[in-house]
Amino acid sequence: MGPRLAGSPGDRAAVAWGQALLRELGFSKVRAEEVTVTAWERGVETATVVSPYPQKLVVTALGGSVGTPPEGITAPVVEMKTLEALEEAVKADPDAVRGKIVFFSRRMARSGEGPGYGANVPMRSSGAAKAGPHGALAVLVRSIGTSTSRFAHTGSTNYADGGPRIPAAAVSNADADLLERLLARGPVKVKVVLGCRPLPPSTSANVIGEIPGSEKPDEVVVISGHLDSWDLGTGAIDDGAGCAIAIEAARLIAEGVRRPRRTIRVVLYANEESGLAGGKGYAARHAAELPKHAGAFEADSGTGAPLGFSWSAADTLEPALAAVAKLLEPLGAGTLRKGGAGGADVSPMAPAGVPLFGLRQETGRYFDFHHTADDTFDKIESPSLDRAAASVAALAFAVADLPGIHALPSSESR
């Protein structure tokens, strides 16, 4: 399908493709459940150092960002390591960023070596919202990724209701390094041109197909990934891989000698990347049915080897999970960790106490490609993907075949 930005022609084509594939594989009740999604268009995106010397920068607009005027914005750059640094700077001098382009520069570390993805995302998601009210003209954010190449990392940004809306773009790590070096030597002026613009809300859909349970067909175990992607690459690892894992896991279960007691429901969610409309829409539309959800699995960590699962459910589930974990050891996926929300798309089911399971995968190179133009099909590791699908199939079968549902009381924290 190519890129599948929510509400785009590629996204609509993927919804049709998903239904056709699930029908071809023999799934029951194949359908598309419509949801309203945010829509946005990228357009041109260029940036250039104007002084001390001309130099092109690799940038990419952040999802949801407004554009610049056609002639762009040319202004001095002021570096802030973090959102907290911005707060302190404007406390000391209310004009610290007025008339300037704010450059958020803290680097994302590879796992365990420092602030990781989650710690740095707020600079991307709310940097523009925080800098705008202090008179900043635009925001550049160091890519929240580990690529050392000149690939800029997109992702959504949000404005405060009623607040100023200033353009926001990510700059590749290599170019962020350049800006830091130049800024260490003296004043730097940059020109940014962004043609992006938010579009009116559009329609997409969660694609669903089922394998009916043998004894309790009205009770459900969800296996899922998200169908939408960013638009720079083809969204092969985020989250084409997760969709493939979900579909293949369900297909393996259907092929087995015995069907589990409960229904396996594959859900390919809409619009995870910019608003979570699919995940929220599923939880709302199926609210009455959530007490009959014995589990919800999500795969949204790329194509790496399976390591195990995070899980949130009543403690009474632990012995059954421990028994299955032994079976997962040969796949390398035998480590189960209690806690977590399973994944973004299934997390809206948490308040209803639905047991949530997140597939944990090897992510050593995931953030080299994630949300960049380098997220393309050649990155797919087929053997790991097979093992990931087998792991999800085994644990989902076990949960779908348990005598009872181990819902987490909604008051309990995950």
Q: Is 228 in the site for Zn ion (CB under 5 A)?
A: no
Subset of 84-123 contacting Zn ion (CB under 5 A):
none
Q: Under the criterion CB under 5 A, does residue 300 sit at the interface with Zn ion?
A: yes
CA distances from 251 to 20, 206, 224, 265, 402 (A): 15, 19, 13, 11, 20
Which listed range, 32-40, 300-308, 391-399, 400-408, lies at the site for Zn ion (CB under 5 A)? Answer: 300-308
Closest approach of Cβ 272 to Zn ion, in Å? 5
Active site residue 272: yes
Which lies closer to Zn ion via its Cβ, residue 219 or residue 238?
A: 238
Per-residue interface string for the shown chain with Zn ion, residues 234-253, x marking contact by CB under 5 A: ----xx--------------
Residue with Cβ nearer Zn ion (105 or 274): 274
Q: In the range 196-225, which residues lie near Zn ion by CB under 5 A?
A: none
CB 325 within 8 A of CB 334: yes
Identify which of residues 68 and 363 has a Cβ nearer to Zn ion in the complex: 363
Q: Two tokens at 98?
A: 């007025």
- How far apart CA 299 and CA 382 sit, in angstroms, is 15
Number of residues near Zn ion (by CB under 5 A): 3
Rounded least distance, CB 409 to Zn ion, Å: 29
Q: Are 117 and 148 in contact (CB under 8 A)?
A: no
Retrieve residue 227's tokens: 């169908």
Place of tokens 């590791």: 381
- Residue 3 CA to residue 231 CA, distance in Å, equals 5
Shortest Cβ distance from residue 346 to Zn ion (Å)? 12
Nearest distance, CB of residue 16 and Zn ion, angstroms: 21
Catalytic residue among 272, 273, 298, 381: 272
**Closest Cα to residue 161, out of 124, 129, 135?**
129
Name the residue nearer to Zn ion (CB basis): 1 or 176.
1
Which candidate, 276, 224, 240, places its Cα nearest to that of 3? 240
Would you call 407 helix, strand, or coil by DSSP?
A: coil
- CB of 124 or CB of 406, closer to Zn ion: 124
Residue 85 CB contacts under 8 Å (≥ 6 apart), including other chains:
none
Output the smallest distance, CB 300 to Zn ion, in A.
4
CA gap 378, 297 in Å, rounded: 26
CA dihedral 363, 369, 371, 375 (to 10 degrees): -110
Helices (H) then strands (E): counts for the chain: 9, 16
| Shortest spacing between CB 290 and Zn ion, in angstroms | 23
Which CB, 65 or 363, lies closer to Zn ion? 363
Provide the minimum distance between the beta carbon of 382 and Zn ion in the complex, in angstroms, as a whole number. 19
Q: What residues contact residue 93 under an 8 Å CB cut-off, 6+ apart? A: none
Return the number of the residue (153 or 261) whose C-beta is nearest Zn ion: 153
Asked if residue 345 binds Zn ion (CB under 5 A), the reply is no
Contact status, residue 296 vs residue 356, Cβ threshold 8 Å: yes
Paired tokens of 56: 């092109």
Name the site residues for Zn ion (rule: CB under 5 A). Answer: 238-239, 300
Write out the catalytic residue numbers: 272
